Amino acid sequence: MSTELRFPPGFRWGTATSAYQVEGATRADGRGESVWDRFCRVPGAIENGDTGDDACQHYHRADEDVALMASLGLNAYRLSLAWPRIFPAGDGRLEPRGLAHYDRLVDRLLAHGITPLVTLYHWDLPQPLQDRGGWRDRATAHRFADYAAACFDAFGDRVRDWVTINEPWIVGVLGHQLGLHAPGERDVAGSVRAMHHLLLGHGLAAGALRATGRPDARAGVAYSLFPHTPAADTDADRAAAHGSDGYVNRWFLDPVHGRGYPADVREHWENAVGPLDFVADGDERTIAAGSDFIGVNYYTRRIVSAGRGDGPFPWKVEPGRDDVPRTDLNWEIVPDELTGLLLRLHRDHPGVPLLVTENGAVLDDDRRVAFLHGHLAAVHRALAAGAPVEGYYHWSFLDNFEWAMGYRPRFGLVHVDRTTQRRTVKDSGRWYAAAARSGAIPPWPA
């Protein structure tokens, strides 16, 4: 009798990338400047002075890369569109060469039986919009909805599923609070505005998708979700973990899925930055208008204790447990938390389909196989317990530009030689291909 773990028919076996991290060709075909092009020029901002100028040259090697994906038997791919390729100035003139590139890429994927999941915003804001205030300015949410509508118009006949915004919390915290990501702001109040406008942009874009009248089109956010563990089994640490969960997870999930901003987090933010007067009447209704799935980007958990340490809040993020294995970036590897997270989302937002839109690790490749195995088994347990998980997109297809850490961390199932750009499928890529082809993984533990 087989004890393999079989996934449901139609399960999406995918990988994920984002435009700035893989495309390169930042000056090709009329592409405008993005905040990341600018940020990479700030001395010391990126390890080793790396930039996305070349990245994996995916812009020029898209055919080869899609053929490689197909040869691995993958049936899904999450990619992002570069806003500055489509609207080089952020708004106004559409660049037909940018549209033509993605048009061809989408056709290529479909011709190989690979279903595209398209992200509209994976952090490469056109610099001219940043010059007008970026996400701190409400108008950016409207420009985003215009860009989204143009993409729905161009690709909506072939693309059904859209991730509007990738990881609004990370954009807020790393980009606007800590200055570690583009646009490099250190402005706590500005970060709260930015996060609100990102969600508003999502709601406006989801509304624009509805307005296309395509009944099977779906929109959702890909959230950076961190399950929380209290450091000690005390009321104080449990309250801290709940508060931090609000800051990281509920602040985004609740409004998008119709519950409005959570009162406890709103109070924390108002204590920290004053009244949230940029949340206009009706905004929460707009934000809640029409999300069709939850995109789960899961990497690790947060262990939290009471005390000060995490920005302006009364909790502290602890370093993690000694007996838990780590990735080479020192992130705890806890696949069980993914099961718990998926079940929690199913409980809190019943009926909403779930997609694991990112999961991956920087590890030597033997350990990546174990990581994949553990996390897919975790997804399987969630499915068995009733969570409606439709697919898994491994981060990442290729070793790529890991933002402020440059090219040092390698997340790919496919190795990319930085000098020759040669692609070599890793053992983990072959393992994942076997799983995708058979629709099952060996029993866990192996």
What DSSP character marks residue 71? H
Q: How many CB atoms lie within 10 A of CB 282?
A: 8
Q: How many CB atoms lie within 10 A of CB 420?
A: 7
Binding ligand IFM by CB under 6 A: which of 33, 37, 65, 167? 167
Scanning residues 369 to 408, which ones bind ligand IFM (CB under 6 A)? Answer: 395, 402
Closest to ligand IFM by CB, 227 or 262: 227
Nearest approach, Cβ of residue 194 and ligand IFM (Å)? 17
Nearest approach, Cβ of residue 76 and ligand IFM (Å)? 17
Residue 428 sits at φ, ψ, to 5 deg, of -65, -35
Beta-bridge partner residues of 295: 222, 355
Alpha carbon 174 to chain centroid distance? Answer: 14
Report the C-alpha gap between 142 and 296 in whole angstroms.
25
Residue with tokens 């949230």: 276
Dihedral angle, C-alpha 393, 399, 401, 406, nearest 10 °:
130
Please list, in sequence order, all residues whose beta carbon lies within 8 angstroms of the beta carbon of residue 369, skipping any fewer than 6 positions away: 427, 428, 431
Scanning residues 194 to 223, which ones bind ligand IFM (CB under 6 A)? Answer: none
Residue 297 lies near ligand IFM (rule: CB under 6 A): yes
Nearest approach, Cβ of residue 314 and ligand IFM (Å)? 27
Assess contact for 366 and 427: CB atoms under 8 A: yes
Number of residues that bind ligand IFM (CB under 6 A): 7
Each residue 14-53 as x (binds ligand IFM by CB under 6 A) or -, in order, gives ----x--x--------------------------------
User: Tokens representing 317?
Assistant: 């993020």
Nearest approach, Cβ of residue 402 and ligand IFM (Å)? 5
Nearest approach, Cβ of residue 215 and ligand IFM (Å)? 31
Assess contact for 274 and 266: CB atoms under 8 A: no
**Which residues are part of the catalytic machinery?**
167, 358
Residue 293 lies near ligand IFM (rule: CB under 6 A): no
Closest to ligand IFM by CB, 78 or 228: 78
Residue 358 lies near ligand IFM (rule: CB under 6 A): yes
Closest to ligand IFM by CB, 121 or 251: 121
Binding site for ligand IFM (CB under 6 A): 18, 21, 167, 297, 358, 395, 402
